[in-house]
Amino acid sequence: MVRRASIRLLPLLLLVLLAGCRADPEIEAWRIINSYAYPFPWEVSVTENQTGQEAQPGETLKIDYHADVDLSRYTERYGQFTEIIVAISGERRFDRNGYYRVGPNSYALSSNFTAAGLPIERLDGWRRYRLLQGDGGSPFEGVSSYPLTKGEAAKRHQFDGVLEIALPADIPEGYYEPNLSVLVRVAGVAEPVHLRSYGVNWNEAPKMVLPLVQVGKPATPQMPWSLFAQEYQMGRSGVLPEEMKGKVELVARSGFNSDFILRPGQYRLNPGFPSLFPHVHLAPVDGGLEVVPERIGHQLMLDHGQVACVVNGPDGKRDLGVKRFTGANEAGPELEGGGFAVDMRQTGRYEISLTGTVQDAFGRRFNGGGTYVVHIAMPITFSTSCKPGSGFIEGDKYPPKVNLIPSVPGEVEVVVEYYPNSDEARKQTWIGRGRANRFGHFTTHGQPALVFTEPGEYLSRVTAQFVDAEGRLWMGQQTSVGVIAPREPEMKLHGTRSFAYGNRVGKDYNGAMKQFRDRQDLTTSFLPYTPSMLPDPYAPYDPRDTLFIPSNGYNESLVEPHLSMSFDDPLLRRRFTQAYRLASHLVPPAHQSAQGAWEYLRDVVQISTDSFAWFPADEGVIDELPILPVADGPYHPFAFPENNRVDAYTYMGVVRPGFPVMTSIYQTDAIGLYWLASPNRYGGHFNTSLNGDLAGDVYRIQAGAVVLDHENGRNYYDAYGAAIVVIPSDGQATEILSPGEQPLITFNGREYDIFLAMDTHDAMEVGETIHVGGMVFPAIEADAVWHITKPSGEVVVSRAKANRLGIARGDTAVPIDEPGIYSIQANVFYEGLEGDIVGTTDGTFWHCAVPPGNVSFLQTDPQPVKKIDPAQGVRIPLRWPATLRNVKIHYGVMMPGQVLDQGVIEPDGQAWEYPFEPLQVATQYPNVDVRNYADGELELADTVVFQFFVEAEDGDGKVVDSLRLALRKSTLYNFPALMNGGRNTQPSHPH
């Protein structure tokens, strides 16, 4: 008996499938209806049992189909259609061991990894077929064609055919997910064109899938099930079981993968299915998520299965029993009773064992789950010298300095894994451990630094833990990955040239604009859809240039940080150009001229599918190549990477001071890798609000490319860093300009053409060392000079020339050998331009030092954790014993990347208070978030650190003390009170 089922529009797949699978006699076939394919919708019906639930290598599957392709809207503008092609391509969904594998698209999961073990993502453009294009295909393929007579294309074509899928004898065993497409061959165009690519929303269509086919005798599929997918915090969204490590991982767009840390609370545990509901598994970085489907077609019966759960936490082990699946909502499957309720208010490490099975429509079993590790803790965030995605140059030392926020003396561990030449066998692990000082400042003193002696890759992970007096765990973790680039790289990584306006492929300036003014003035469409006519601004081709982009609050300004590579060596250039060359490509409809014949590109390389970056594949001159792997054979190098001739990927970490805006490890031509300047949720990090960026915000795009040439046994690396500056939405156009053409930012009436971003106002202890260094904006090889005046008056000068990534590290370390204020004047110089530290008058700020074990006498009142009213702000009272004379208070208030206020005051009496009024500060610094411009409500978002240092005299001489508080969003953290069990600090005499 042949069961029949039906698919009506993929979003409704499941419901109809469930109905159909119960032997509904009226349902005749799997029907794939591609309404998305406007102007040429099509429908293909396939009898279900013919798709073959099982097959053996070497076997040929035959699938009868009936196709109904509506070409009635065809006009001669499209060129002459000569043939309709129905094609099927199988993605290996589970391998022979039952583990999930990605196809050409990774969506939220990846089974491909860097040398350092982090997942690589790829969101390909149009599917390629070995049987049609000769590359980029799958061993599971079949094509069938239907000829079109000249002059008769413009009608509805209904025809029957057979798809023959000849499985090679060496096809990797596993479960294959057949995807159907309909293409046309166009006279004079080298490669067939997907019918869907004549429509406008080419990258949002669902996958047209048929039931999984088991090839060979693979193990039972192990589905990657997630937990906490909807609890996105600090850039993470969901966690996979430990058993999946190294097999499949969730990709991360808002911070590289790290331990999953959640705030204390009561949660409901429901397994998430990232392979079927990928959208919910990406912490939202607004922009680009639309290409990640909300759900992918499947044949699972999500009310046929069950899950068992045991939670082992700091409060003991709890067996939560077994629950059945009851169905699915838009975010994933649901368990009876809404899932397992679990109280996780106690901080600490939890191991959650959640395992189960689910069946598909054919009764096949899919296992899922495993052991999940989750940390429940109050959040610690960081200011680190190595930002997520930082690149290094061969010979650099890893900078382990960390400031914790809130400023607690937490246990800090910095682990760096260094892979010289990407060789896992030569991996070096460097660990720096210790306790931060009582102001949250940590660095490794006396421990030899890790020197990156040769090009390669690294992964660093900073973990901080602190248990307060009430026993609550505070925890944070930050991961950075990137490359160590050679001093003189053979492969050069750079941005991608942008277009002046639109994409007029035939025009001279297409792909030739390195810098531009007045490119586009984006404004808001009051109608529901914003046309995708304008390409998004790319990362500056020349990293010394700056991309200026307006913040307009309404979805228009976005950044697509496409990077490309080039080779000076003509042989390498030719080899990679040939590997990446596309014989033909249809220019997307939005970029076709409104009148005249449609344009098909010939002989191009493609940097990105959805933002229209193609460049002529001219081997002689091309200097913009995608960073892609090259397969050894006709299979897709991301879906079947086992025998790639070349592996290649790009690390990218775009940081705004204080948090990662977007992170990704990806292969070029990833579509949808962009973000909106405003509004944007930015993964729920601190230091950003729903407003996204405001004028005055700056970014640094940090990237590193890795090309592993297995064929020649050579690897190529390069790093890239460039600046983006957010400007007011004044109708001015997006611009890419060279240094000095336009001030980067204007604060307090000062215009900054260039500036240095570095930590200021650190609080240290005598015996530590000051290492000066920072990030020059824009990323130029500027000269940096630091004049450090010690409390004794001694002046030490430290100098540096920023490297080509714009990173400057001073040549002189200054030992802290006396308590007091270490005043530092920092200046940068570049070709007649001068700059210093944003928010200061002339680049002067200070660090302070107290003796180790210094008895604290400076008191303040705020509760350990206090919510403040954005309208009123907060007044931070400081008190000291009456016996002190000549009290001098130095105060410094800073936000990541800039100083907000600093000064010295000599108050009378024994108390003084510092008023912090966010509304007032925002008049001075428009990038301080005080209001949600979506609804007008007052709302704080930034991290602000208050550093106080007191010098005074008592009967025994000079005494000093320091106090550091932090504001994150509207929560003020008073570290001394945290240490004292929630009570305010008590007065104590200094001696």
Partner 1 sequence: MVEQQTQENRRSGALPHALVWAVAVVLYLTVGFRFASLFALEFRALMTNLSLDKFTDTAWIPWGENLLRFAAAPLFLFFIIALLYRLLARWNVAANPLANRSFGFRILIGAITLLPYTAFCWFAAQVWAVWISVEVFWWIQWYSHIDPAMEWIRANVPLVAAPSLFLTGVWLWWLAWPRKTPATRTRSVFRWAGAVVLLFVLISPLTLGLLRFGRIGFAPGFSVFERHCGQCHANARPLYFIKTPAEWRRTVKRMRKLENVPLDDRQEARVAQFLLGMRSFSDEWTFNTRCRRCHVTSHRNWEKRRPEDWAAITRRIARYSPYYYRPDVQNQIVQHLTSARSAPDAALGLDPTEYDAYQLIDKTCSACHALSRQQERYRQISLEEAEQLVRRMSEKMPEPPTEDRIQSLATGYREMIGQPELLRRLFPHDEPVLSGGPSW
Interacting residues toward partner 1 by CB under 8 A: 35-36, 38-39, 73, 199-201, 204-205, 500-502, 504, 518, 520-521, 523-531, 533, 551-554, 593-595, 679, 694-695, 728-731, 733, 748-750, 841, 871, 903, 915, 917, 919-920, 922-924, 926, 931, 933-936, 938
Q: Which is nearer to partner 1, 798 or 840 (CB)?
A: 840
Shortest approach of partner 1 to residue 907 CB, angstroms?
A: 12
Asked whether the beta carbons of 86 and 68 are under 8 A apart, the reply is no
Report the distance separating Cα 446 and Cα 366, nearest Å. Answer: 53
Minimum distance, C-beta of residue 677 to partner 1, in the bound complex (Å): 12
CB of 206 to partner 1, least distance (A): 10
Least distance from C-beta 33 to partner 1, angstroms? 12
Cα–Cα distance for residue pair 118/135, rounded to 1 Å: 27
8 A C-beta contact, residue 286 and residue 247: no
Nearer to partner 1, 745 or 770 (CB): 745
What is the Cα–Cα distance from 494 to 719, expressed in whole angstroms?
A: 8
Shortest distance in whole angstroms from residue 35 CB to partner 1 = 6
- Cβ proximity to partner 1, 43 vs 954, nearer residue: 43
What's the CA gap between 280 and 274, in Å, rounded?
8
Best CA proximity match to 107, nearest among 94, 120, 88, 91: 120
Q: Where are the alpha helices (DSSP H) in 145-265?
A: none
Q: How far is the CB of 38 from partner 1 (least distance, A)?
A: 6
Chain-centre distance for alpha carbon 817? 42
**What are the beta bridge partners of residue 420?**
456
Backbone CA torsion sign across 222, 223, 227, 231 = positive
Q: What is the C-alpha to C-alpha distance for residues 646 and 627, in angstroms, rounded to an integer?
A: 10
Q: Which is nearer to partner 1, 533 or 795 (CB)?
A: 533
- Dihedral sign (CA 636, 642, 646, 648): positive
Using the minimum distance from each CB to partner 1, give the nearer residue, 72 or 97: 72
Q: Which is nearer to partner 1, 446 or 909 (CB)?
A: 909
What residues pair up with 849 in beta bridges, in sequence order? 764, 820
CA pair distance 275, 366, nearest whole angstrom: 13
- Give dist(CA 678, CA 535) in Å, integer: 17
Question: In the numeric block, which tokens belong to residue 405?
Answer: 């926020």
CA max distance for the chain:
105
- Closest approach of partner 1 to the CB of residue 862, in Å: 20
Exposed e or buried b per residue across 216-225, where buried means at least 16 C-beta atoms within 10 angstroms of its C-beta = bebeebbbbb
Q: Find all residues with CB under 8 Å of 474, minimum gap 6, and list them.
A: 377, 378, 379, 380, 406, 408, 410, 464, 465, 466, 467, 468
* CA 705 to chain CA mean position, Å: 15
Write down the least CB distance from residue 595 to partner 1, Å.
6
Shortest reach from residue 697's CB to partner 1, in Å: 12
Question: Between 385 and 510, whose beta carbon lies closer to partner 1?
Answer: 510
CB of 672 to partner 1, least distance (A): 16
593-598 — which CB contacts under 8 Å span 24+ positions?
593/504, 596/77, 597/76, 597/77, 597/79, 598/77, 598/78, 598/79
How are beta strands 698-709 and 898-905 bridged, if at all?
unpaired
Give the residue carrying structure tokens 């000076």. 568
Non-local CB neighbours of 809 within 8 Å, separated by 6+ positions: 396, 399, 771, 772, 773, 800
C-alpha–C-alpha distance, residues 200 and 36, integer Å:
9
Closest to partner 1 by CB, 524 vs 886, is: 524
Q: Which of 330, 311, 143 is nearest to 230 (CA)?
A: 330
Is the Cβ of residue 436 or residue 695 nearer to partner 1 in the bound state?
695
What's the gap between Cα 9 and its chain centre? 31
Nearest distance from C-beta of residue 822 to partner 1, angstroms: 19
Query: Residue 821 Cβ, how far from partner 1 at the closest point, in Å?
Result: 16
CB 885, min distance to partner 1, A: 20
Token representation of residue 420: 């010289």
For partner 1, give the closer residue by CB, 915 or 981. 915
Nearest CA among 836, 596, 506, 820 for reference residue 75:
596
- Beta carbon of residue 331, minimum distance to partner 1 (angstroms, whole number): 22
Cα 584 to the center of its chain, rounded Å: 31
**Residues 6 or more apart from 22 whose CB is under 8 A from it?**
none
Of residues 442 and 554, the one with the C-beta less far from partner 1: 554
Locus of tokens 């920023």 = 802
From the CB of 972, what's the least distance to partner 1, in Å? Answer: 20
Cβ closest to partner 1, residue 648 vs residue 894? 894
Report the alpha-carbon distance of residue 414 to residue 432 in Å, rounded.
Answer: 5
748 SS3 class? coil
How far is the C-alpha of 605 from the C-alpha of 337, rounded, in Å?
52
Give the shortest CB-512-to-partner 1 separation in angstroms.
13
Residue 903 C-beta: closest distance to partner 1, Å: 7
Cα-to-chain-centroid distance, residue 604: 28
